[in-house]
């Protein structure tokens, strides 16, 4: 008899082969052998996602219909009904998919690419090329009427387009210089990419059902996607919102510090402007063959000196500061520890320096000639032979590192998976298209780390989150321990951080992962949370037994009566996702906020919307969360157990419907947008206002 995992994998292959008879037999066998385990494997491997089969749904529908003939659990019934609801719109999705595939046969790769890349250019008027937010209370735009996409979503849509272009075998070197300027100016390609993004929205909806327990319910012409608990979706949305808010705040911090940093470090932007003024006549020329376009030729000695420099530029100081904050690492690790073969993150930063320089110089030329959105602008994305690019990289990195960068950044037609912001070198018959905007303004360091699954703390005995907790919590604790292993009556486990504050024992499980940028990466974060919850529950169950408390007291070298009876558990995350969620009853909190509340007792609201660039600073509103002047256990309990801050975060979320329309049907995800005004009002009403910085 086959094991359940093998049955699920064989079923997926049978559906791919369109063998309906075999698929039905395998489906019945799996349900009969072990229904709960089989459904778990179906979810894990995405067996019932029609996006895995070019949106073909005939066999999947026959499998779902089979469930009506057998007795299955309530949980399985809910899951299969959700799959059936998604399948009800699959024909519309498949129709759109087929239409797009037909157009892929003749639409040019470069036209699509320059349309996306222009969104990443550093233009003075961002509204010309971007629509990052959806207004709520005057800040974000309602997504109920139209599913508008941001630049990162456009990049993902282009990635899907290029993948299917490769599948159709239509990409060759004749495509890499062709652009259709009229359609570009009419936003034709952006509209088509928005259609590709509808496919991504549907795929992600399937993953939400499979991996996160969302349900899909058909209501007339609407298929409505709901979270298993509204707070799950709230915490998901809040995580992305707070990450965005922090990035904006960091940007203003960087701007306010710019003059101070500039005194020590030069700027790539200013260097590029000076270079342009001095060498513009020899740098730019317009050629007519094979297509009229702008080409750049740089002064090799000046460029080599600029690129060879190991001193930091202003923009790189800012990148390093963000890396130190987000990855909990110091500058030496960024510079010295290899993340891929011999490459360090500093090598990635230096590569980004090259393309930022190229972009800034080209921007100066485009601006001075008023060529933005002209035919020459659209046609002039750099296209280099592979050997030319390798030589350019080798001139300041050396041949070995240049080879490694080329391998790391290049997407070739023989590779199946593709993400434009991770693999921005697009190789077509030994020619490379270079989207300078994406190369300059994508988070290349983060994307590379994610793509190669590299962690700085993977081989280290010291967890950076635990060290942060020790720094802030140990001074206010009467008993403190980290990495506490225990083994009691056959049950083994470990507590990352244990602390006694006043009359309460606090235990923390720390999990560090990169900020997720899609639902597939989100699964990694949520898997960490579930694992942490299991570890905390194991300890919590043992804590109810007096012999375990005696055992624990001896282990941490104290008396049992010194351990308080009250226990508070918390999952501490390195990123901001799912903040405010409770998993198995354990609260999820982000490390930076938790440590700040422990050590300072404040919440700082960055009022970036009233930032005054002439004043050279941003407005920060400060509120006190401690009831007294020092941290007490009740303050920490209120923050972790009673949600006395996060309930105001959640109360500031406004329900919205993210919608894609497909002919006579629509797919709707119930979601939330954050109102800064509501949040500020609640802080004013419930906490002590201390000062306006």
Residue 335 has pLDDT above 60, yes or no: yes
Average pLDDT over residues 163-191: 78
What does the pLDDT read at residue 429?
Answer: 82
Give the pLDDT band (50/70/90) at residue 453. confident
- Per the prediction, the chain carries an average pLDDT of 85
- Calpha distance 168→178 (Å, rounded): 18
pTM of this prediction exceeds 0.75:
yes
Orientation angle between helical segments 633-640 and 591-599, nearest 10 degrees: 160
Find the DSSP H helices in 88-187.
90-104, 109-117, 151-167, 181-185
pLDDT tens, 29-53?
999 999 999 999 999 999 999 999 9
- Chain-centroid distance of CA 273 in Å reads 33
End-to-end CA distance of the chain: 69
What does the pLDDT read at residue 689?
Answer: 75
Average pLDDT over residues 435-447: 92
SS (H, E, C) 210-259: HHHCCEEEEECCEEEEECCCHHHHHHHHHHHHHHHHHHHHHHHHHHHHHH
- What is the DSSP pairing of strand 410-411 with strand 425-428? parallel
Average pLDDT over residues 283-309: 82
The tokens for 449 are 């780390």
What does the pLDDT read at residue 213?
Answer: 94
Residue 463 has pLDDT above 90, yes or no: no
Residue 286 has pLDDT above 80, yes or no: yes
SS (H, E, C) 495-524: EEEEEEECCEEEEEEEECCCCCCCHHHHHH
What does the pLDDT read at residue 329?
Answer: 80
Orientation angle between helical segments 464-473 and 591-599, nearest 10 degrees: 20
Percent of the residues in the chain that have a pLDDT greater than 70, as a whole number: 88
What does the pLDDT read at residue 308?
Answer: 74
- Chain-centroid distance of CA 501 in Å reads 35
For residues 527 and 129, the model is more confident at 527
CA distances for 547 relative to 484, 550, 556, 560, angstroms: 17, 5, 15, 10
Give the pLDDT band (50/70/90) at residue 309. confident
Question: Which of 141-145, 267-271, 553-557 shows the lowest mean pLDDT across its residues?
Answer: 141-145
pLDDT tens, 230-250?
999 999 999 998 888 777 666
| Cα pseudo-dihedral 88, 93, 94, 98, rounded to 10 | 160
Average pLDDT over residues 619-628: 82
Give the pLDDT band (50/70/90) at residue 615. very low
What does the pLDDT read at residue 460?
Answer: 61
| Cα pseudo-dihedral 431, 437, 443, 447, rounded to 10 | -30
What does the pLDDT read at residue 147?
Answer: 41
What does the pLDDT read at residue 412?
Answer: 66
Give the pLDDT band (50/70/90) at residue 380. confident
Q: How many CB atoms lie within 10 A of CB 130?
A: 15
Biggest alpha carbon–alpha carbon distance for the chain? 86
- What is the DSSP pairing of strand 566-573 with strand 504-511? parallel
What does the pLDDT read at residue 290?
Answer: 73
What does the pLDDT read at residue 300?
Answer: 73
- Calpha distance 617→26 (Å, rounded): 65
Give CA angle at 351 (348, 356), nearest 5°.
120
Average pLDDT over residues 128-153: 44
CA distances for 549 relative to 332, 565, 585, 599, angstroms: 42, 9, 21, 28
Q: Give the DSSP H/E element, type plus range, for residue 14.
A: helix 4-16
Go through 153-170 and write b for each residue having 16 or more CB atoms within 10 A of its CB, e for each that does not.
bbbbbbbbbbbbbbeeeb
């Amino acid at each position: 008899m086959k094991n359940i995992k093998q049955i699920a994998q064989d079923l997926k292959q049978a559906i791919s082969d369109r063998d309906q008879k075999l698929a039905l037999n395998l489906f019945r066998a799996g349900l009969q052998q072990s229904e709960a385990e089989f459904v778990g494997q179906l979810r894990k491997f995405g067996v019932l996602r029609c996006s895995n089969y070019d949106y073909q749904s005939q066999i999947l529908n026959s499998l779902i219909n089979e469930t009506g003939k057998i007795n299955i659990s309530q949980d399985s019934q809910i899951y299969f009904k959700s799959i059936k609801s998604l399948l009800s719109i699959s024909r519309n999705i498949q129709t759109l998919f087929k239409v797009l595939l037909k157009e892929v046969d003749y639409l040019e790769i470069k036209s699509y690419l320059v349309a996306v890349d222009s969104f990443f250019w550093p233009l003075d008027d961002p509204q010309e090329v971007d629509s990052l937010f959806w207004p709520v209370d005057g800040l974000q735009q309602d997504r109920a009427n139209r599913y508008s996409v941001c630049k990162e979503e456009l990049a993902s849509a282009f990635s899907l387009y290029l993948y299917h272009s490769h599948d159709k075998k239509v990409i060759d070197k004749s495509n890499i210089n062709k652009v259709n300027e009229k359609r570009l100016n009419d936003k034709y390609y952006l509209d088509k990419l928005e259609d590709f993004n509808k496919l991504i929205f549907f795929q992600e909806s399937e993953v939400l059902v499979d991996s996160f327990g969302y349900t899909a319910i058909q209501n007339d012409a609407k298929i409505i996607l709901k979270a298993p608990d509204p707070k799950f979706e709230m915490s998901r949305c809040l995580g992305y919102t707070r990450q965005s808010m922090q990035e904006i705040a960091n940007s203003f911090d960087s701007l306010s510090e710019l003059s101070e940093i500039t005194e020590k470090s030069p700027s790539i932007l200013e260097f590029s402007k000076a270079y342009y003024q001095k060498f513009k006549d020899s740098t730019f020329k317009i050629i007519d063959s094979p297509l009229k376009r702008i080409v750049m030729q740089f002064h090799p000695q000046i460029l080599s000196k600029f690129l060879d420099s190991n001193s930091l530029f202003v923009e790189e100081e800012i990148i390093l500061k963000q890396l130190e904050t987000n990855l909990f690492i110091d500058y030496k690790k960024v510079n010295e520890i290899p993340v891929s073969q011999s490459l360090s993150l500093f090598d990635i930063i230096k590569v980004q320096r090259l393309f930022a320089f190229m972009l800034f110089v080209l921007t100066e030329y485009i601006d001075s000639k008023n060529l933005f959105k002209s035919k020459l602008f659209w046609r002039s994305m750099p296209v280099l032979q592979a050997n030319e690019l390798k030589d350019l990289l080798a001139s300041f990195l050396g041949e070995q590192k240049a080879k490694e960068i080329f391998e790391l950044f290049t997407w070739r037609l023989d590779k199946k998976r593709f993400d434009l912001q991770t693999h921005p070198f697009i190789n077509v018959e030994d020619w490379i298209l270079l989207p300078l905007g994406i190369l300059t303004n994508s988070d290349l360091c983060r994307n590379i780390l994610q793509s190669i699954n590299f962690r700085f703390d993977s081989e280290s005995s010291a967890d950076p989150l635990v060290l942060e907790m020790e720094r802030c919590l140990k001074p206010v604790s009467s008993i403190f321990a980290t990495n506490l292993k225990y083994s009691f009556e056959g049950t083994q486990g470990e507590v990352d951080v244990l602390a006694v504050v006043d009359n309460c024992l606090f235990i923390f499980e720390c999990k560090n992962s990169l900020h997720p940028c899609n639902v597939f990466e989100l699964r990694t974060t949520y898997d960490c949370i579930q694992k942490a919850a299991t570890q905390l529950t194991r300890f919590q169950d043992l804590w109810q037994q007096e012999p375990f408390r005696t055992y624990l007291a001896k282990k941490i070298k104290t008396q049992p009566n010194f351990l308080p009876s009250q226990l508070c558990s918390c999952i501490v995350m390195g990123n901001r996702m799912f903040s405010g969620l409770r998993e198995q009853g354990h609260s999820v909190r982000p490390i930076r906020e938790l440590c700040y509340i422990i050590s300072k007792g404040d919440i700082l609201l960055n009022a970036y919307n009233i930032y005054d660039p002439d004043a050279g600073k941003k407005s920060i509103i400060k509120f006190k969360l401690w009831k007294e002047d020092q941290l007490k256990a009740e303050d920490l309990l209120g923050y972790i157990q009673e949600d006395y801050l996060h309930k105001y975060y959640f109360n500031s979320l406004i329900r919205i419907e993210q919608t894609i329309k497909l002919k006579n049907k629509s797919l709707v995800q119930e979601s939330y947008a954050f109102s800064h005004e509501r949040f500020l009002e609640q802080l004013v009403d419930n906490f002590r206002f201390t000062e306006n910085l």
